[in-house]
Amino acid sequence: MDLRLFLNLFAVFLYSTAVIAQSSDEAARPGKKKSVVFILTDDQDQRMNSLDHMPEVQKLLIDEGTWYQRHYAPTALCCPARVSIWTGLHAHNHKVTSVHGKWGGWPKILQQGLNSKYLPIWLRENGYKTYYAGKLYNGMSEKNGVETTTARGWTDAQLLCGASTYQYHDPPFQHVNETNWNNPHKINKNFKGNYSTTKVADFAYEYLREAVKHDDPFFLAIAPITPHVQVGKDNGPPVPEKKYKGTRPDAQIPQTDNFNPGKRSGVNKVWHLDRLNDQKTKLLNEHYQDRTEALLSVDDIVAQVHKILKDNNKLDDTYIIYSSDNGFHLGQHRLGAGKKFAFEEDTNVPLIIRGPGVPKGRKTSIVTAHVDLSPTILEMAGMKQRDDFDGRKIPITDGDLDQREKSDADEYANVEFWEGTSFGFNTIQGKNVTGKFVNAYKSLRLVGKSYDISYIIHCHNNAHELYDLSNDRVQMENLHPAAPAPESEQNAFESGTNTLAGFPIQKLLQRIDAALLVLKSCKGDEILCHKPWAQLHPQGNVNSLRDAMNTRWDEKYDDLHSNYKVGFTQCYKNGKIDVEAEGPQWTKTGPKPGNQNLVSFTNENDPDKWAVSSNDTDVDEKWTVGKDGEEEGWWDDWE
């Protein structure tokens, strides 16, 4: 071939490639209002490979979109996580920390004014039709006044409400539309014989078929209870649709090193758990099969949503988002079935996005979180970001993803928890573990060039966990100097593992503790949640942990750690936020000391006074199953 001809053809190729990339990026730029379908599951894991069993998700979303493999629930519990999705706020700012009682559920959401300050309200103000089918929040029941004041902001919605929300058959729905937010319909319990997930799907398809008839942009959320356990009248694992029951007999929990491990892991109660016997691991594997089969009905939803959009020529102009409110564990670290912990199984959840400008078949390891979803959807809607958002928009084009992936700046996720937990599936020294125990913690996920770190501080005993996930993906080797060890043995640090990613652990801890201090206090544009180093180094000369590890900063972090290290003085089991008991806080002007006084345990009827000093013996409180199934349920806490 003539050299000149070759160069001309090559130039044309480069130009066309650039044009395609530019048009792809432009398709996702703010301005034109794009429609969005958001499929939100309940308690779906990522770490146990649940997505591998969903062929339609694989074919229509993962192969045709981008999979964000480090996406995190900022609170590993349904209601707080969902509020973070719809508001863009961390729980320490929206204040919903539980699923019931004073500190959680529908009454707390109303008390915090969040029924008028969340995504559908903002989208409607921008001309969107908004639809919802399925579970929105916990505690939306008659006794909590949902028949007096229901969810605002929806053009039309069918919300799972009432005591039978977590029953897989005969689901109760409340019909909501833009004319009856303040005078809503009664909960309709006349869906006898219906399977919950398919009934949610039927409502969703009806909304989608209506929405695609019009030019108005729309937002549709589809939120089945799948694969949450069944709670209430009947308690047990999730119930698959009849046509799928028994179709995945070979589905088993991945046999990772942290599944019912031979060596102890974690801290506090988790450290002391006995190994699960064969009968219990059999039950857990049956539970996994039930989850897998139940999710096939969600896979059907993905296929049908895709078909409706394609048949109406709306597919290429509509974003589809797929995620779960929080993750789930089954046997990892010798635990039973549940959530609520800072382990990756509970916090790392699926996030897949497909749509205009979104690269196909791409997998990214950037860190994202639920607080980023509302900012991202506003971007898709061509809207400005809100000053109070704790999250930031997720990059959804090749160009923006490349920029984030190539950046030397760190990536962060802040995960926090205030509730208690139970260990009803477990034994310690052969004895059943009953009651509810303190499980409050603050934690940080920090990822940078050549390091991947998990750092957790528990309220009880101020116990610490430090993991190098680059070499210990399943969090079995606690590298903290104060990590527990078997009797007459040394922990990893004492045994000579005194560096992480080449950094001295003692120096590293000072830096990441300071970053966690900022993140547990971050708030909107006052204290940016994605720029802790900018708070610690306002001169702008530190953008990553690697920068902060420079010895020139040793004196700064020695002083900061001596006076303002993250810790607790008092613990609660009911979700109560007591900032004074949570140690120092970061403010716009720098660190502020917290309460330094330990408070002794008080055994009173008022849950707000169920507290234990952070260094005292953990006290066992016996809770009873609530009639609405939203307190303590089957095996662990089903909330």
pLDDT single digits (tens) 357-379: 999 999 999 999 999 999 999 99
Do 216 and 118 lie in one domain? The reply is yes
- Length reported for the chain: 639
Residue 639 token pair: 């909330």
Q: What pLDDT is stored for residue 594 in this prediction? A: 80
Judge whether 297 and 198 are in contact, CB under 8 Å.
yes
Check pLDDT > 50 for residue 638: no
**Dist. CA 123–CA 381, nearest whole Å:** 8
CA distances from 311 to 303, 307, 316, 357 (A): 12, 6, 11, 20
The pLDDT of residue 36? 98
Q: With a cut of 80, say whether residue 566 has pLDDT above it.
A: yes
Q: Say yes or no: 367 and 452 in one domain.
A: no
Identify the H or E element spanning 219: strand 218-223
The count of structural domains within the chain is 2
CATH number for the domain spanning 396: value is 3.40.720.10
496 and 548 together in one domain:
yes
Q: Indicate whether 277 belongs to any domain.
A: no
178 alpha-carbon distance from chain centroid? 29
Residue 265 in any domain: the answer is no
pLDDT of residue 597: 59
Angle at 470 between CA 469 and CA 474, to 5 degrees: 40
Q: Identify any residues that bridge with 571 across adjacent strands, giving them in sequence order.
A: 612
Are 222 and 301 spatial neighbours (Cβ–Cβ below 8 Å)? yes
Residue 151 CB partners (closer than 8 Å, separation 6+): 115, 132, 136, 137, 140, 157, 159, 176, 181
Domain membership of residue 79 (yes or no) is yes
Domain membership of residue 635 (yes or no) is no
52 with 143, same domain: the answer is yes
What CA–CA distance (Å, rounded) separates 320 from 354?
Answer: 5
Compute the mean pLDDT over every residue in the chain, rounded to the nearest whole number. 90
256 lies in some domain:
no
Q: Tokens standing for 458?
A: 């528990």
In a domain, 481, yes or no: yes
DSSP code of residue 633: -
pLDDT at 400 over 90: yes
Label residue 602 by pLDDT band (50, 70, 90).
very low
Same domain, residue pair 572 and 521 = yes
Give backbone dihedrals phi and psi of 444, rounded to 5 degrees, phi first.
Answer: -135, 130
| pLDDT more than 90, % of the chain | 84
The conformation of residue 97, written as its DSSP 8-state character, comes to -
Q: How far apart are CA 196 and CA 134, in angstroms?
A: 9
Does 341 share its domain with 453? no
Q: Is 441 in the same domain as 371? A: no
| Judgement on whether residues 466 and 329 belong to the same structural domain of the protein | no
pLDDT score at 637: 42
Instruction: For strands 441-448 and 451-458, give the pairing.
Output: antiparallel
**pTM for the predicted model, two decimal places:** 0.92
Q: 3-state SS string over 477-534? A: CCCCCCCCCCCCCCCCCCCCCCEECCEEHHHHHHHHHHHHHHHCCCECCCECCCCHHH
pLDDT 10s digits, 541-562: 999 999 999 999 999 999 999 9
CA distance 226 to 431: 33
Answer yes or no: is pLDDT of 255 > 90.
Answer: yes
Residues 211/220, Cβ–Cβ less than 8 Å: yes
Q: Where are the beta strands (DSSP E) in 370-429?
A: 411-417, 420-421, 427-428
In a domain, 137, yes or no: yes
Bridge partners, residue 451, by sequence? 448
What's the domain range around 83?
A: 27-241+283-404
Residue 523 shares a structural domain with residue 394: no
Same domain, 391 and 473: no
Do β-strands 362-369 and 66-72 pair in parallel, antiparallel, or remain unpaired? parallel
Secondary structure class of 71 (helix, strand, coil): strand
pLDDT of residue 573: 85
Q: How far apart are CA 202 and CA 402, in angstroms?
A: 39
pLDDT digits 0-9 by tens, 78-136 = 999 999 999 999 999 999 999 988 999 999 999 999 999 999 999 999 999 999 999 99
Strand, coil or helix: 238? coil
CA 379 – CA 529 distance, rounded (Å)? 18
Domain membership of residue 475 (yes or no) is yes
| Cα–Cα distance measured from residue 429 to residue 423, given in angstroms and rounded to the nearest whole number | 13
The two tokens of residue 635 are 């095996």
Q: How far is CA 101 from the centre of its chain?
A: 21
Among 484, 351, 279, CA closest to 68? 351
| Distance separating alpha carbons of residues 241 and 202, to the nearest angstrom | 14
Pair 328, 6: CB distance under 8 Å = no
Over residues 277-287, the pLDDT tens digits come to: 999 999 999 99
Nearest to 410 by CA among 493, 560, 516, 321: 516
457 within 8 A of 442, measured Cβ to Cβ: yes
Positive or negative, the CA dihedral 357, 363, 367, 368 is positive
Mean pLDDT of 578-590: 93
Residues 320 and 445 in one domain: no
Regarding beta strands 218-223 and 35-41, do their DSSP bridges make them parallel or antiparallel, or are they unpaired? parallel
Average pLDDT over residues 405-417: 95
Residue 145 and residue 195 in one domain: yes
